[in-house]
A and B are shown apart, each in its own frame.
Chain A
Amino acid sequence: MQRFINDPDLVVEDTVKGFVKAHSDIVRLAENPRVVVAKDAPFAGKVGVVTGGGSGHEPAFIGYTGKNMLDAVAVGELFSSPTAKSFHDAIRAADGGKGVVVLYGNYAGDNMNVKMATKLAAKDGIEIATVVANDDVCSAPLAEREKRRGVAGEIFMWKMGGAKAATGASLEEVRATAQKAIDNCRSIGVGLGPCTLPAVGHPNFQIEPGTMEVGIGHHGEPGVRVEKLKTAEEVAKDMVKIVLDDHNLPEGTEVAVLVSGLGATPLNELYILNDTIESEISARGLKIRKTWIGNYFTSLEMVGATLTVMALDDDLKTLLDVETRCTMIL
């Protein structure tokens, strides 16, 4: 695989530099170069909204920094949790005096680093709340939801939490909204081809030609089964079935849908998937309020796609319509 890089060890640093140059109207860099901050943050009297995660998922996580979304983002190495220091610095950068909520994904490293960072922030006198995303259906059974990974549903969690914070809501209200958003999300990934960390130089896992991995994780964590590659229609039906069987939503529920490429799948294939996804969701008696399609949460150059479905109530519908100003259209 040929790449546009300078030095495999500087991929993250160079990515962030280019990102901040491109979007200086929306974001800035904190003193810690591994923390991206919304241009005018912190906002006095507003709950700060923070996330962080490994790099290689662009536009996540930095691309969601901005008005009515995330106030600060801690940036980790490729596929590796940010340091406790970076999470701590992000919390400080987002603190407008009304507390900070940290909305992050359920990974061992992120859990520990956020925990250490929130202890440090508490010493600074900042009130902290956390919500851990666990929307990836195939990563653990429903009965053990606390073990599930966080994937693209995190975007909805940030969007809802960020929009709620923008209303001037309290820390507890923002936390509860973000928690509800992620509770209402279910995601599934299907992988068709692996990805490679530039500094490692070869793929971490293999997907044999002619096969696909159903339930694959955002770092190539193996899915629940490997099977023969099927048509887009069959794959989409399978994705919707896995997500909605787990979701068990009453007929008539309105939902938001996110179909994201994993990095190397062309946009047209996502539309092909969505043709069936949309029909299948409607056939189950659910009403799609809004759909997002694109490379919203990637895994380097992995070939594949994820589907996320979020159930909406009146509160979430209102928040869904709040305009954001980040690099991605939400």
Chain B
Amino acid sequence: MSESAARALARMFGRMAEAIEAEKDHLSELDGAIGDGDHGITMSLGFKAVNKALAALDLDTASPSEVMQTAATGFLDAVGASTGPLYATGLRRAAQALAGRKELDLAACRDMLAAFSEGIRDRGKAQRGDKTMLDVWLPAAEAAATAVADGRSKQDFWKAVTIAADNGAAATATMVATKGRAARVRERSLGHLDPGAASAAALVRAMAETL
């Protein structure tokens, strides 16, 4: 392990920005069907801001928790919408979960995912099945917990997490939105993927690729 945990996290945020950039138009299109069509733009803005904030951080001395906290503040100050407070709260909680840790072992990744998804849930007051990003983050966090409990390898851990995330995103097409702006179209949201879930799945894949 030549790369420090702080650097690995910074690289993860870089990969997240790339993933969002690649999906930007697709995400806005998904949002246009059941929301207001800005999700791709909002997410792109947020992760660009995160990387800008991290560029000003000294990764040689910063702790993993500080990287997360910096990312949270960068995201919150740049992004309004619902996404700003939701992701900023998730990132803040992840920063708390990583406090005092130097290594990003699987237990740390599990705790980070758990704190992240709980932060989003507490801020947005949504649950599984509400057709939101939580339909990705909560199953991903659960898969992480199961994988650690089962003593899985790193490769299998991320495979399980990614599959749970992708399945969660796909399942949102069968749900009727009850939270957020898509809730306003109610039954008409049926059959459409939730844009927040789609971007969350892209973020989970970026995590799996870099951690």
Q: What does DSSP make chain B's interface, helix, strand, loop or mixed?
A: helix
Bound Cα distance A76, B181 (Å)? 16
What is the minimal beta-carbon distance from B114 to any residue of chain A, in angstroms?
21
A66 within 8 A of B: no
* B129 proximal to A (CB < 8 A): no
Q: B154 interface residue, CB < 8 Å from A?
A: no
Q: Tell me if B42 counts as interface (CB < 8 A to partner A).
A: yes
Most chain B CB atoms below 10 A, which of A76, A80, A115, A202: A80
Contact of A109 among B32, B77, B82, B185 (CB under 8 A): B82
- Cβ contact of A200, chosen from B41, B83, B179, B184, cutoff 8 A: B41
Q: Which residues 49-91 in B have Cβ within 8 Å of A in the complex?
A: 76-86, 88
Q: Among residues 49 to 105 in chain A, which have CB atoms less than 8 Å away from a CB atom of chain B? A: 54, 76-86
Say yes or no: A77-B85 contact (C-beta < 8 A), given A83-B80, A221-B185, A222-B188: no
In the complex, per-residue mask of B21-32: 1 if CB is within 8 Å of any chain A CB, else 0: 000000010011
User: Smallest distance from the beta carbon of A33 to chain B beta carbons, Å?
Assistant: 13
Contact mask for chain A residues 196-221; partner B; CB cutoff 8 A; 1 contact, 0 none: 01011011110000000000010111
- Residues of chain A within 8 A (CB-CB) of B35 are 204
A116 close to chain B: CB less than 8 A: yes
CB <8 Å contact, A108 and B180: yes
Residues of chain B with a CB closer than 8 A to A197's CB: 28, 36-38, 41
Asked whether A179 is an interface residue with its Cβ less than 8 Å from the other chain, the reply is no
B14 within 8 A of A: no
* Beta-carbon contact of A77 and B84 below 8 Å: no
The reply on A43 being an interface residue by CB < 8 A is: no
Q: Does A134 contact B (CB under 8 A)?
A: no
Q: In the assembled complex, how far is the CB of residue B187 from the closest CB belonging to chain A, in whole angstroms?
A: 10
Assuming A79-B36, A204-B36, A222-B188, is B80 touching A86 (CB within 8 A)? yes
Decide: A85 near B76, CB < 8 A? Known: A79-B38, A112-B85: yes
- B32 CB contacts on chain A under 8 angstroms: 200, 202-205
Please, how many angstroms separate the alpha-carbon atoms of A190 and B104 in the complex? 54
When chains A and B are docked, how far (Å) is the Cα of A107 from the Cα of B82? 9
Which chain B residues in 111-167 approach chain A with CB under 8 Å?
Answer: 123-124
Taking a contact as CB atoms under 8 Å apart, the answer to whether B38 and A77 are in contact is yes
Of B78, B80, B179, which one neighbours A113 at CB under 8 angstroms?
Answer: B80
Report if A107-B41 is in contact (Cβ < 8 Å); known contacts: A81-B81, A112-B82, A200-B32: no
Q: Which residues of A contact B108 (CB under 8 A)?
A: none
On whether the beta carbons of B184 and A80 are closer than 8 Å, the reply is no
Answer whether residue B208 sits at the interface, using C-beta atoms and an 8 A cutoff: no
Q: Are A200 and B82 in contact (CB under 8 A)?
A: no
- A222 vs B35: C-alpha distance when bound (angstroms): 9
> Min CB distance, B43 to chain A, in Å?
11
A7 to B88 Cα, complex, angstroms: 28
B45's nearest neighbour on chain A, judged by CB, is A77
Contact B81 A76 (CB under 8 A): yes
Which among B42, B86, B181 has the greatest number of chain A C-beta atoms within 10 A? B181
Given contacts A81-B80, A85-B76, A113-B84, contact A200 B38 (CB under 8 A): yes
* Contact flag A149-B184 (CB < 8 Å), given A77-B42, A85-B76, A219-B36: yes
Are the CB atoms of A113 and B41 closer together than 8 Å? no
Given A112-B123, A139-B184, the answer on whether A81 and B38 have CB atoms closer than 8 Å is no
Take A81-B82, A84-B76, A113-B80 as given contacts and tell me if A222 and B41 are in contact as well, using a CB distance cutoff of 8 Å: no
Which one of A86, A139, A220 contacts B36 once the chains associate, using CB atoms below 8 Å?
A220
With the chains together, A76 CA to B42 CA distance in Å? 11
Listed A/B pairs (30) with beta-carbon separation below 8 Å: A78-B38, A80-B36, A80-B38, A81-B81, A83-B80, A84-B84, A85-B76, A107-B181, A108-B82, A108-B124, A108-B180, A108-B181, A109-B80, A109-B81, A109-B82, A109-B181, A112-B86, A113-B84, A116-B76, A116-B85, A197-B28, A199-B38, A200-B37, A200-B41, A203-B32, A205-B32, A221-B181, A221-B185, A222-B184, A222-B188
Residues of A within 8 A of B (CB): 54, 76-86, 107-109, 112-113, 115-116, 139, 149, 197, 199-200, 202-205, 217, 219-222
